[in-house]
Amino acid sequence: MLGSETKQALTFMGVDMAIGGHCDPRFFRVREVFERHFAEGAELGAAFTVFLDGERVVDLWGGVADRTTGRAWGAHTPVLAYSCTKAVTATALLLLAERGLIDVAAPIREYWPEFGTASVTVEHVLTHQAGLPAIEEQVPVAEFEDQPAIAARIAAQTPVWEPGTAHGYHAVTYGFLVGEIIRRVTGKSAGDVVSAEIAGPRGLELWLGAPPDVIERTARLSAGERTQAEPVIEVEDGDPANPMTAIAAAARDRDSLMNRALGNPSVHLLPGGANNPVILRAGWPAMGMVATARGLAAFYADLIAGRILRPETLSDAVRRRVRGPDRVLYIDSSFGLGYMRPALTFLTPAAGEETAFGHTGLGGSIGLGDVENGLGVAYTMNKLADAVGGSLRAYHLVAATYDSL
């Protein structure tokens, strides 16, 4: 039985805003971490939800959804979850594979004849081995809601490494590639498939292409203490064998593969950046999902329970296909079929190193599933941080969750 209502109070623009929700007494450590993040000023608005064996045992939220107006974060406040989207998009494709409509080992050309490189398979895209991590030509704003047009740009490119020989994070291209494969097979966008096959039948509060009423109540992202002009990574030059040295150099180089992969299409060309309705309704399948923590955690709860994919499909999908230095991010990453596995890019405590899967999102959000431990977990927030700071907020909450089992 759920209990232990939180009492921590917040003040913003002169208005008292209490942290709301409930927390099973067994998970008091989670509540303490969530409240401490607010007390230390690490959060603006955030939510954290945990399902254990199908029961919602933690459901916390608090703070401010919009720092300009002071609008409070509520139980049903959605927010752009950035790359947490990738796991949901992968699940949509795997559903089609279960039905025999897609063979993940097949070349993309079998479904998309115009695709330029014959050796790229569906699995290469899902595991970030396709060698197409960046869109080489700048995508104009007029194309932002035309996913097939963006996909066509990527299809015409030559891979920057031999597909299947290395992996590197396809931060944005992943979604347009997977989305176009889905469209070629079904005639529907990835967002339509997610709505019809995953979110809609289960009443999940997640949207890949948010409708106007959801956009209206979506939390607004904030850069926190940083300005957009400031560097995201601050690392001094040092040992050339240290990947952080390479990251620092890549961050300073506008033409680096890392910056090209992360920065095109450029959301900053729009007023308000990622808060612009164009982005929220476009439903980019790599980073365009709008979700509540409840909705994303419930997705993982249903996934590990076999209510979305068959257990054998999920077991195979979370099997590590790649692990090690990432050609785009430089630090170690690990992927199954569209799902991250524990690595420096997906930090999990020791108890989840062999069992957890899911995906992180830019600035700190995370969705996580763990079949063995019966966990469906999600953390959403609107105060973006650099990769390290963002990850640690989620990590502390996830670690407290595992500690409570």
Is residue 57 assigned to a domain?
A: no
The domain of 211 spans 79-217+260-404
- Given the structure tokens 């007029």, which residue do they identify? 142
Buried/exposed code over 358-385 (b: 16+ C-beta within 10 A; e: otherwise)? bbbbbbbbbbbbbbebbbbbbbbbbbbb
H or E element that contains 101? none
* Distance between CA atoms of residues 18 and 364, nearest Å: 22
Between the alpha carbon of residue 51 and those of residues 4, 302, 324, 370, the distances in Å are 16, 10, 30, 10
Is residue 101 assigned to a domain?
A: yes
Quick one: what percent of the chain has pLDDT higher than 70? 89
The answer on pLDDT for 357 being more than 50 is yes
392 is written with which tokens? 């640690």
Domain count for the chain: 1
State the pLDDT confidence band at 349, using cuts at 50, 70 and 90. very high
Give the largest Cα separation in the chain, rounded. Answer: 60
* Distance between CA atoms of residues 93 and 91, nearest Å: 5
| φ, ψ for residue 387, nearest 5 deg | -55, -40
Give me the DSSP letters along 186-214: HSS-HHHHIIIIIIHHHT-SEEES--HHH
Q: Which of 379, 390, 355, 381 is nearest to 369 (CA)?
A: 355
State the pLDDT confidence band at 261, using cuts at 50, 70 and 90. very high
- The contacts of residue 276 (CB under 8 Å, 6+ apart) are 267, 270
**What residues are annotated to the active site?**
83
The answer on pLDDT for 195 being more than 60 is yes
Q: What is the pLDDT of residues 315-333, one digit of tens each?
A: 999 999 999 999 999 999 9
* Distance between CA atoms of residues 77 and 205, nearest Å: 9
Is residue 224 assigned to a domain?
A: no
Is residue 247 assigned to a domain?
A: no
The answer on pLDDT for 389 being more than 60 is no
Mean pLDDT of the chain: 91
Q: CATH no. for residue 89?
A: 3.40.710.10
Predicted pLDDT at 350: 97
The answer on pLDDT for 233 being more than 80 is no
Quick one: what percent of the chain has pLDDT higher than 90? 85
The answer on pLDDT for 224 being more than 60 is no
The answer on pLDDT for 230 being more than 50 is no
Q: What is the pLDDT of residues 31-63, one digit of tens each?
A: 999 999 999 999 999 999 999 999 999 999 999
Predicted pLDDT at 236: 46
Average pLDDT over every residue of 264-273: 96
Is residue 320 assigned to a domain?
A: yes
- Given the structure tokens 């590990």, which residue do they identify? 304
- The contacts of residue 253 (CB under 8 Å, 6+ apart) are 259
Average pLDDT over every residue of 244-273: 87
Is residue 33 assigned to a domain?
A: no
* E strand spans, 222-354: 289-291, 322-325, 332-335
* Distance between CA atoms of residues 402 and 220, nearest Å: 30
How is residue 276 annotated by DSSP?
S
Q: What is the pLDDT of residues 155-173, one digit of tens each?
A: 999 999 999 999 999 999 9
Is residue 275 assigned to a domain?
A: yes
- The contacts of residue 112 (CB under 8 Å, 6+ apart) are 155, 180, 181, 184
Is residue 369 assigned to a domain?
A: yes
